[in-house]
Structure 1
Amino acid sequence: MTFQRYETKYMLSPIMARKLRKSLPGHLQMDEYGLDTICSLYYDTPDHQLIRRSLEKPVYKEKLRLRSYGPAKETSPIYVELKKKYEGIVYKLICSLLGRQVK
């Protein structure tokens, strides 16, 4: 599965974050994934090239991770995700490793 999306991130002061948390309950409803634990394992090169490059805010960057939704068990679906960002657009390639052990 491959998809693309735009991401926008905002820096909030502690005061703004508290105000936002107070105002959300009347406007949002928890969905079926609201209490899930997301476990992610990010991969990098021995010299940490991927994270160092990402912190430089380049036009193109990529990340490789394993992810499970909920605590990972031997029979849980585990996803390998290659995430690329180019000129503000995020592209993800996701492959499922359903019920396989990943070492």
Structure 2
Amino acid sequence: MRITGLLMIAMLLAAQPAAASLQFGANVLLSAHGEEIHVPGHSVPCLADLNTDGYPDLLVGEGSGLYPGRVRFYLNEALGMPPSFGDYDYLRLLSGAEISYPGG
């Protein structure tokens, strides 16, 4: 499944009361399909209901400084809390091109 369009993402991130109530403590390892999520370079997680099903999905920026950075998303497959994340894809524009930012 592809999530497309910067405007749609910005609108979904603007009002997320469910995501705001979920807080991570120090050293929390996130997993997808039971395996730890490893992201190259620096990463910052963010929760938002991307597919409007009422449950928080996971956005994670990735980038090493040497390569263009991208934003992964993991859809929440749980029907409640705690979240359970599936496989990831990258955010894309309506054209289908991956959203990225320069490295280095």
Which category of TM-score, normalised to the shorter sequence, fits these structures? 0.3 to 0.5
**Bigger Cα Rg:** 1
Which has more helix, going by share of residues?
1
